[in-house]
Amino acid sequence: MRKIGIDLGTCNSLVYLPKKGVVLQEPSVVAVSIEDNKILAVGESAKEMIGRTPDTIRVYRPLKDGVIADFRVTQAMLKYFIDKVMGFWRFLKPELMIGVPAGITSTEKRAVIEAALNAGAKQAYLAKEPILAAIGASIPINSCSGNMIVDIGGGTSEIAVIALGGIVTFQSLRIGGDKMDMAISDYIKKKYNLAIGEQMAEEIKIKIGTALPEKSFKPLSSSEGAGKSKKTIDKSDSSSIKKDQATERTMEIRGRDLISGLPRTIKIYADEVSEATYDIISEIIHSIKTVLRDTPPELSADIIDKGMILSGGGSLLKNLSLRISQETGVPCFMADDPLLCVVKGTGVIMENLDLYKKSIMSKK
């Protein structure tokens, strides 16, 4: 019996095969031809079409905020992933293990199971993403000491305290990397009257995004213009800041001028990106504080000792762990391969299905 683990993300989907590891990592995007209702492209090739299509082609992101927004397109995407990884063996129906947000409703769960079965799975198991992320980050979830995981994805952010194989307290937020991209493009629209596309906003976040403005590393001084001052810097951070100033402080972006309607190029600074995403990150930190407040005292002591672990693609934002530890007072560490934590967790569970069957999964 073939087993496949899938991290069905709002932004990216990853597929894991036991003994082979992560075999597929593609954007959760599908391009559909409207005239004959045919799927033209899935994954990377469909993502390249975003914002560039004629009227006859629509590009869908079938998952929104971590759950299915378009059933038929999600089903087609799952089928594409299954066929691609099964190859010659595609006539055998595999067992699927799919990661879903912890705050998902029973109707949303049913939709994921239906889509998986219709896409050609023999059975579909669902597991909560915080648990999968913790397993993938090599956290011993079955021990009696508490562990805290913060999984920031494209559509959702999941914060959970895990002990004895289960979730003790959690918060599931429908915000993540996508909301940061939107915040960046809104900021540029307001400040520079420039409209930019989704892809450009994401590129800005990846290249020069930072959770803490560079100014926060510098002694308080009245400096004007985001990131333009070159005042003295704390000794401890001087080397990293020097490197930032040399390479990552600015980026040229292109878009459409909202007043003249003509293409225009501007230069933006890392501090402006930090300002744009400030409120989104504050919301995530507020939820982390809520989870810490609701955690039993014994487990709080464990978390202070060990710190919390960050996973998911959103956690790759520069200085995010630093800002979280500064605002919560709890040490914060990045998991190895944060993007792969959830899908690695599905793999571990697939390989030890009997061990985890009772504690984690809801099965159909």
Quickly tell me which residue has 């600015």 as its tokens.
Answer: 250
Helix (H, G, I), strand (E, B) or coil at 166: strand
Q: Residue 117 CA to chain centroid, in angstroms?
A: 25
Q: What is the pTM of this model?
A: 0.85
For 320, the token pair is 């995010």
CB 302 within 8 A of CB 289: no
Instruction: Tell me, yes or no, if the two domains 3-135+340-363 and 140-214+240-335 fold the same way.
Output: yes
* CATH ID of 3-135+340-363, from 3.40.50.620, 3.20.20.10, 3.30.420.40, 1.10.3300.10: 3.30.420.40
Q: What residue segments make up the domains of the chain, in order of their start?
A: 3-135+340-363, 140-214+240-335
pLDDT value of position 236? 40
pLDDT value of position 229? 34
Quickly tell me which residue has 């994401």 as its tokens.
Answer: 202
pLDDT value of position 67? 87
pLDDT value of position 315? 92
Say how far apart CA 162 and CA 176 lie, in whole Å.
Answer: 21
Walk along the chain (364 residues) in steps of 10 and give the mean pLDDT of each run.
87 91 92 90 91 91 89 91 82 88 90 93 91 92 91 94 92 93 96 93 93 61 35 39 52 94 94 94 96 94 94 93 94 93 91 69 47
**Per-residue burial over 303-338, b = 16 or more CB atoms within 10 Å of its CB, e = otherwise:** beebbbbbbbbbbbbbbbbbbbeeebebebeebeeb
pLDDT value of position 249? 72
CATH number of 140-214+240-335: 3.30.420.40
**Which residue, 299, 340, 358, is CA-closest to 138?**
340
**Distances in whole angstroms, Cα of residue 194 to Cα of each of 5, 187, 252, 272, 321:** 41, 9, 13, 14, 31
Helix (H, G, I), strand (E, B) or coil at 257: strand
The dihedral through the CA atoms of 344, 348, 350, 355 has a sign that is negative
**Which residue, 351, 295, 325, is CA-closest to 162?**
295
**Which residue, 341, 21, 28, is CA-closest to 154?**
28
Say how far apart CA 343 and CA 132 lie, in whole Å.
Answer: 7
Strands (E), the chain: 3-8, 12-17, 21-27, 30-33, 38-42, 57-60, 63-64, 67-68, 95-100, 123-128, 147-152, 157-163, 166-173, 194-195, 250-257, 263-269, 308-311, 332-334, 362-363
For 173, the token pair is 């937020």
Per-residue pLDDT reduced to its tens digit, 8-18: 999 999 999 98
Say how far apart CA 75 and CA 86 lie, in whole Å.
Answer: 16
